[in-house]
Amino acid sequence: MSLQIITDTDVVRQTIRRMAFSTGISVMMAATTLAMSLGSNPDALIRVGDVMLLSMCAATIIPAVISGILSYRSARLLQELTLTRSELSRISQTDQLTGLLNRRGFDEAAMLALRSAQQAGLPAVVFMADIDHFKSINDRFGHEFGDKALIEIAAVLREFSLARGGLVARHGGEEFAALMIGLSREQAEMYAEEIRRTCALREIRSGDICERMTISIGFTVTRGEIDLARVMRVADQALYMAKRQGRDRVVRADEMALAAA
């Protein structure tokens, strides 16, 4: 926005500017109207009826024009403010490195999705994925290559989301999250395996370095559960089991784990 109103002084100054502008327009329009109606002779005679008609026109048209001008300006400022707020909201919910939702954006959208799934009587699936041995990757090749790896894995998830639907996010560090509605356990496992295989085949290039890396995935299927934190804990437990079992694999947490969470 070109105009910044931050302090009380700014508010007063802007109000004075508006009043000065309104007064100036009123004087200018009134003078123009009088000159056109009465001419340049100050001693000229004019009928009372003409004076009344002129006064009514001036009292109606001048405020209407001024109000329209100021309303248009206010509407444009409000439009700029709305667009700015919308952009700030988008930025606050987006991971700047990968372009995916960040944890805040994912949690807000996922809670709404869980409520919708509950109302429709559909199952919901939460996936948690983690890049295997990511710390050693950073140590061996540097953080620039690590960032490239995050971007490439995020691209796989984005492509999957566009093809299959659902929410995907960088949940923090090298960890990613996804949520899909209306899947059976078999479908969820098939999709998780598809993501795992695609990531394993993805070549990650940065300068002279070319590597492939794997991910571990844990997921859980729930029906009627709207406590996102609880579901995420269970999916995270499944991810932990995938790591303990050797990584580069998919593990599902069953309903008993969800009930115990």
Residue whose C-alpha is closest to residue 125's, from 215, 28, 191, 198: 191
* Distances from the Cα of 250 to the Cα of 186, 225, 232, 241, angstroms: 12, 22, 16, 9
Measure the CA–CA gap between 217 and 15, rounded to whole angstroms: 59
From the candidates 174, 193, 194, 225, give the one annotated as an active-site residue: 174
**Residues in Cβ contact with 85 at an 8 Å cutoff, skipping those fewer than 6 apart:** none
Task: Determine whether 175 is an active site residue.
Answer: no
* CA 247 – CA 253 distance, rounded (Å): 16
- Give yes or no for a contact between 113 and 211, defined as CB atoms under 8 angstroms apart: no
Cα–Cα distance, 105 to 93 (Å, whole number): 4
Q: Residue 140 has which token pair? A: 């061996």
**Radius of gyration, CA atoms only, the chain:** 32
Strand-pair partners of 133: none
Q: Which residues are catalytic?
A: 174
